[in-house]
Amino acid sequence: MHLHLNLKCLFIPFLFTLVLGSLTLITRGQDSLETDLEKEKNAKIFPIPIAFYTPETGLGLGAGVTSVVKTKGGDFMPRKSQLTFGFAYTSLKQLLMYVPFSLYTFRQKMYLQGELGYFDYTFRYFGITNGTKRDSIEFYRANFPRVRINAFAQIADGVFVGPRLVYDKFSFSTFNPEGRLRNMDVPGSEDHFVGTIGVGGIVDKRDNNLFPTSGYYGALSIDQSINPDYKYTTLMMDFTKYFPWSNKGTFAINLFGQSLFGEAPFTAMPKLGGTKKLRGYFEGSILQEHIFAWQAEARRMVWKRLGFAAFFGAGNGFRPGETFHIKNTQISSGLGLRIRLTDQLNARLDYAIGMQNRSGFYITFGEAF
């Protein structure tokens, strides 16, 4: 235990030094770009040395390039498109290649949002649980291509509707020898694909779609499985309201809920935890047919590119036929450091504490909500 604590004490300063060094390169590069683009600010392209840390991945290092483009013309409030190419490898021997995109085209009449990627990843499986019991963890490894596409038409200023596509094809390479997944006790233990088609809608009234400080954002969707082996429907709601409380501070509240009806592989079930929904808990440590979460966060820039945040969250889940109990709600809270990389993007360093000695340290890009 003493050795473990000493190694951890050495690792955290090293990690901060590494990440802050990478962030310094980004901010210096961005300052140069902003000088070069004084006359033309419709497009910005800059490289990203990637360094991050989450409980799910460990330390990740890589590189990427991102672009931000201000949409020209159209009858609606101008919004900014973003396209990123990223590659990373983690200390847990995970490979991540991803292309997230958020694009406004055809004079803002079309909004394309989603992600293309390929991942070779080690996951934790906690069982079908609402998180009230101490985690019973087994590890498994899978590689999978990922496709997420939302093709929305803008029917009014900030109002988008259109079709959705989700596709992941899981090929498992490692299970715990005596685990529940190895014994095929869980739907989805075999190689399979998660595929759904559906329809969604967005109402986006944020003052800035990449770095909001006021307004609100809401999303609704309904998706139907296209895998003949699993028949299920999912409903999702995600709503965030932003309250500016100074010229440099914002208070944000997020409500999230998702329900699944039918039989689905465990990889497709609604879950909480990770970098965005209920920090402090491993992603999937709350895995149920019906989940919801409430989060609040206060953010404030205090000096040049440096800012701080404080946050709180609560989440719960239940299965069909079970009685919902408020006492099963899991809570988390934490503090964070914010480093402004560009006028549209923050680096986020968070430490969150949950119940039953759960906790998580996160270094990543962009806000949780």
pLDDT band at 343, cuts 50/70/90? low
- d(Cα 237, Cα 90) in Å, to the nearest integer? 32
H helical segments located in the chain: 2-36
pLDDT at 33: 41
Distances from the Cα of 323 to the Cα of 91, 252, 269, 317, angstroms: 41, 31, 19, 10
**Higher-confidence position of 248 and 266:** 266
Share of the chain above pLDDT 70, in %: 86
What residue type is assigned to position 289 of the chain? E
**Higher-confidence position of 75 and 329:** 329
Q: Can you tell me the mean pLDDT for 97-111? A: 90
**Domains in the chain and their CATH numbers?**
2-365 (2.40.160.50)
Can you say how many angstroms the Cα of residue 93 is from the centroid of all Cα atoms in its chain?
Answer: 20
- Max mean pLDDT range (32-36, 61-65, 181-185): 61-65
- d(Cα 369, Cα 361) in Å, to the nearest integer? 17
pLDDT band at 134, cuts 50/70/90? low
- d(Cα 115, Cα 101) in Å, to the nearest integer? 6
pLDDT at 43: 67
What residue type is assigned to position 41 of the chain? K
Bridge partners, residue 362, by sequence: 350
**pLDDT 10s digits, 191-220:** 999 999 999 999 999 988 777 899 999 999
What residue type is assigned to position 368 of the chain? A
pLDDT band at 73, cuts 50/70/90? low
Bridge partners, residue 338, by sequence: 307, 348
pTM: predicted TM-score of the whole model, two decimal places: 0.83
